[in-house]
Every structure is written in C-alpha cells, then in structure tokens.
Structure 1
Amino acid sequence: MKLTVFGLTISSSWGNGHATLWRGLVRALARRGHRVTFFERDVPYYAGTRDLSEIPNGRLVLYSDWDEVRAQAERELADADVGMVTSYCPDGVAAADLVLGSRVAARVFYDLDTPVTLAKLGRGEPVGYIGPRGLGDFDLVLSYTGGAALAELRSRLGARRTATLYGHVDPEIHRPAAPQDHYRADLSYIGTYAEDRQRALEALLVEPARRMPERRFVIAGAQYPQDFPWTPNIHFVRHLGPDEHPAFYSSSRLTLNVTRAAMAAMGWCPSGRLFEATACGTPVLSDAWDGLDAFFEPGREVLVARDTAEAEAALGLSDAELGRIAAAARERTLAEHTADRRVGDLFAALDGCFTPTADIQPLGA
C-alpha cells in the first residue's frame, strides 16, 4: 500500500512531538512492505536542526512553496491508496483540498493535537490547518487523543468516522542503554517549554529540587525562557536528539511526564515520552489525567503525582521498588504500545474506509 502524507515535520525532532511519532510509523510500515511519501515544508527552524534526511521504503519531499510542489503532490496522490493531512501542516487547507479532490481510496485527516484544536475552536480562534468545511469531507479522522475528543470531532467539526491512533515507541530505537554521567539524574524530564505545562513542571520537578538540594535533576528541551526558575541542582540540556534519548532515560533513576493543560483536561492523551521511557526500562512519574490507567496501571506500572509531596514520595522509593515498576511498564509497552501495534490500529481503521459497512469501535470511544 502507498500512503501520501502532508504533515508538519518528520525531518526534525526539534521543538515538536510529530517527527519521532512519524519515524516510528514509517519504519513499521516499511517492515510490512508499505510505502510512504511525506511532504514537509522546508522551514528555517527545522532545516537548522534536521536529524533525518531519508525515510525507509519511501520518500521525503521538502518544499519551500506550495505552488511549486502542487503538481508533484498530485502525481504522488495519483497512485496512492491513502492520502493524509495532519494537524499543524503549514499548507493543511491546500493539501486537504488536493487530497479530497483525488481518487485515493481513503482520504484521512490525522489530528495529533486534538485538544489544542478543540480549545482553539472553543475560544473562537481560527485553526489554520482545517478549512471552513471542517472535517466532514474526509473518509476517516484519526485522533491522537481518545475519550470525549472523538465525539467532539464529530459534533464540532463534522467528522463522519473517527478512530484513535495513539502514540507509540519503536523498541529498536528506544531500549535500555549504557548510562552517561552527564545525563545522570534522580529525576529527569524531556520536553519543549510550554507555558501551559509550567505550573505542573514547577510542582513536580522544580519545587522538589528546591526541597532536595542533595538530589540531581535534569531537564532537556527547547525554547526555555531566560527567567525559568532554575536551581543549582537542575541541569539543562538545550536540545537532545532522538538518538540520545535512550542514554538519557537510562541515566535517570526516575523520569517525569507532564501533559499540556488542554490535553490533560480532556484526558486519554498518552505522550510518546511515556512509551519511550518505559521501553528504555526507566520508571515514569506522571501527572494525573483521565484515561492514564488504560495504558499503564498506576502504582504498579507508573507512578502518579498530583503535587510536590507526591513527587517527593516517588523520589523516596527504593531502587528495588522503582526497578519493579520499570520492569512491569516495559513489559506492557512492548506488548501493547509499539509502532507495529499502532500500524495494526491504523489499518483496522482504514479497513472501514475500504469497507463502508465496517463499524469502528476505537479505544476510549
């Protein structure tokens, strides 16, 4: 099968969660013999941090102007089985028009940012990657977020058929690695700075660092402001490439997952970091949100903290207890949350497009 995708980025992991997810999906699709052509606008901030230039059994098309690439996109769609547009695609509306006017068997929209999309709609703000007709013309709308988000995509944007396509991990990339002293941490965190994560990040990492000066904390990510409330025992890694993630996680006694406010409020929104860390055999401390227990069992496979005291309690657990949690979570991840499993979910959803009478019952619907 051939899939033609118009997305945000697959070539740069800097400041976004899309690239790593797409890389895992593309590798899993290639292992099954499928092909992907990925169209990405070549913008300076991704060009300067590019850490991928080719995709397996497929093609990456970087372009500077939509009008220049439109004819090539039409040719790629002409022999494709699936045409897909994603959230935050810079030319999402134009690409959607092209996909919807093509003869592909399945015309798909994949919202990797559903709570953000719905929050913008709720505030009356424009959503630049969705046209005025909403999503009703697509054969299938995939959502990175489950639960109530699926019903809202139907009621507010006219989606006719919805299914979840959650985050995942490629265990060939994310697996236990040799610890590195410069990444060593009692509690670590990977994430691009986001204002709506700041309160939780301060409660679950910054304040514990103030109270526990003998412990070492590490934050890795982009776009952190100069006035971030650093403490002497919080160390910073400005940008961490995907190839360094396994060593980073494997150097952490415990790692933190913090969910963006809109996503946490909606629930059913597992960050890919959850799956990456657990695949590396690192225990995870997560903020709380509805649906977390559908992916990992709190207390046995993941630790949950709602405030500073609970974060401190997690840091106080013995190495043996943290090791048991990490082992249980890794087993669950490798069984249920790999890229190969998500490709199976993708094709189960697509089968409903090829067989219109099929009834999709997605997890969390």
Structure 2
Amino acid sequence: MTALMGICIVNVPFMALPVEASLVPPSAALDQVAAFLVEGLFQAKFFLLFSFLFGWSLHQQAQSAQKKGVSFNRRYARRLSGLAVLGVLHAVLVFNGDILLLYVLLGLVIWPLRQRDPATLIRIALTMVPLGVVSLTSLGILLPDTLSSGTTLGGGYWEATRTRWLDWPGTFAFLLLFQGPLAFAAFASGLAAAKSGFFETPLNRGRVSLNKGLPWLIFFGVTFNLYYAAAMSWMIPPERGLHSLAGLVVLVLGAPLLSAAYLGLLLKLTERYTLPDWLMRAGRNSLSVYVLQGILAGAVFGGYGLGLFGTMGQGALFFVAIAVAVMSMAIVSVLAKRFERGPLEALLRAWTYGGTP
C-alpha cells in the first residue's frame, strides 16, 4: 500500500510533463523543492519495496501449490505469461514506464533459485550491487540517447498510444538499466525473507537485525539519496557531469538502504497500529491499483481527458499524485469488497489456475 503511494508519486510527473522538463531545473522554488524531495526520498526506493514483496510472494505461491498437490511450475509459468500480457497492454495503452514486463523477466531469472537457502539468496542479492554500479554508470553515459523528445499525453488517445508504442523500447531499456539489478536484489531478499519467516514474528532474526540497524540505515540512506538528488537536480550545476555520474553510482547503495529503513519503519507502525480495512484490501490487490493509477493520471493529463499535460509544476503534481493514489486505492478497495478481488487480480488468478482449485 505504501509502496503503491510512493510509486505513484514518482510516476505522475513522467505522465504529466514533457521529457524536456526533466532536463531543465524548475523555475519556482516550490517546484525545485518538490523535485528534490521526490528524487531523494521516493525515486528508486518504493519500487524496491514492491519488488521485495514480489519475491516474498513467490515462496507463498510455491507453498500453496505444494499444499494442494499441484504443479507450482505450471502455475508460475501461467502467472508470468499473464503478467507479460498485462504488462505489454499497460505499457502501450496506459503508461510506457510499466514495470510488469520487467518483473516477468526477473521472475524468470529467479525461478531456478527458489530452492536456495536464505543465506545464499542474500549473497546473490549482494552481488547485484556491483552489477548495479556498472548498469547505472552505463545509463549515466547513455542517458541523453535514451530520452525521447516526444510527448506522451499531450494529444488525443490514439496519438498518445502511438507515441507510447514508439517510445517503449527506449523506455524499457532505461528501466532495465535503472531498475533491473536492484529490483532483482529485492526479489532475492524478499524470497529469503519468506523462507526465514521474516514477517511471522517481530522476534525473527532478520527483523531484530533490521531494528538494530535502523538508525544507521536512515542516516546513510538519507545522506546517499540526498546527494543523488542534488547531483541529478538544480543544486549542482549541470556542467559538472561527473557529479551526476557519481550520484547514479551512490544510488546503488543509497536506494536499498533507504528502502530497508522504510520497511523497518513500516513494520514498527504496523506493530502499533491497525490499518483500515479499505487500505488492507487495496494492498492485497496492488496490481489493479497500480494500473488504475496510470488510467486516472491519463484522464487528468491526457488530451483525451482534462488535458492538463504540461500545465502543472512539480509541487502541484506531488499532491495530485497523492490524490490519484488514494482514489485508486479507494476504488479498488470498493471493487474488492464487492467481488472479493480486484478486477486484474481476478483475471490473473483465473488464468494462473486454469480451472484448478
């Protein structure tokens, strides 16, 4: 649920502003602060929480299949194929920054590793750090060539769809370099957490270690990510390209550290407070919420909707993103209460199980 909110805050500016806006410092002070905080505290952090839960769910699905005496491999293959179709449709029809297809590819890679013990999975996750450094360094060098000069939502729906289709290969390559290694590390960590009973009790060894290290995670996570935000924004002159490259490298360490800190803080909150039922239902139906965020944002910014593309600054977009996220969660929660599941969860479940219980 929190991950979905953070993802929406990061994604909405990409749907609401032309690509060129990311290359020019905002003129208004509020927009500068908002852009800095989004890059420092949200960007590349919340999708890691989402990825962590994806890895955790892999173990839950395997256990469920084992208890029912059915083939997990068959179920998992069908689930990934269903996600792939949804990912392609989402990228072309809604938002070409889609992460579902990337998750499918990473899900294929982690599939053979599902029998590994938690310690091995954590070591695999750690090997993604140097790979992430190479990946983001390459991205820093190639970044100008991966950006499209076209707008995505400024015209009518079919014009926007055509633009998304044409831009998608470059966007996917960007996501693969920017998110791939760290997302896979989160997959492996989530799978290790599930195998070790991380969420089952606060006395779990991993939970205890996370709580002990929380102050350091917050300190280094915030420090590294604020440097990344400064290096990528108006705070450091753009002619100092080395800082931008260093910022991307620092992000490889900073993003997982701050994501882990967020996880620790969220667990502390859930130990003390009970979330409202509607938020719990939204969290259990995250696929529908994620896709609906893009649909609602398209209705707000697209020329086929309210046509507000390019009319708002980063400051206003921050609050619009929160409104879109809350509205998406509320709508999906109502649907899930009425029909037991969100629409895409029901569709994916029907395809995954293929008529089996």
TM band (smaller chain): under 0.3
More helix by share: 2
Higher-strand-fraction structure: 1
Q: TM-score, normalised by structure 2?
A: 0.26
Which of 1 and 2 has higher RCO (CA within 8 Å, sep 6+)? Answer: 2
